Structure 1
Amino acid sequence: MREFKLTEDYIELVKLLKLLRIAQTGGHAKIIVEEGEVIRNGEPEYRKRAKLVKGDVIEVAGETIKVI
């Protein structure tokens, strides 16, 4: 499990995917989300700009990321 430390109140889902290099571009990140490849706290997340906060757990591309 990877951990991502927030420096602000939240981070948008597509930004997280780009920062962690799960998506190569913003467009690629949006496609990943639109196709239902992201699981947030056990539920599919289809909102590209979903605000992730501390405690959220994201599963995508065979990786698990905990927002801390």
Structure 2
Amino acid sequence: MVQLLAVNPYFTINKIAKELSISYSTAQRGVQKLEAAGILKKTGNNKRDKVYCAIDILNILEEPTHIKASICE
């Protein structure tokens, strides 16, 4: 699951289950554990198809953009 997050830090439980060929409930348990550990955060207030984000991974992926922007200023 963590390898998928490195490629795209935004996902739904359905997407994780499909990508890893695991059941929805298995993916859900994994997401709940990562959310409890503070690795994932739910975005929005959707009741269905909740979107989660790995904030720290997103920040790392955006870092080169911030560096380039500060160099250009």
| TM-score, with structure 1 as normaliser | 0.38
Higher RCO, 1 vs 2 (CA within 8 Å, ≥6 residues apart): 1
Query: Which has the larger share of helix?
Result: 2
| TM-score, with structure 2 as normaliser | 0.37
Query: Which has the larger share of strand?
Result: 1
Larger Rg over CA atoms: 2
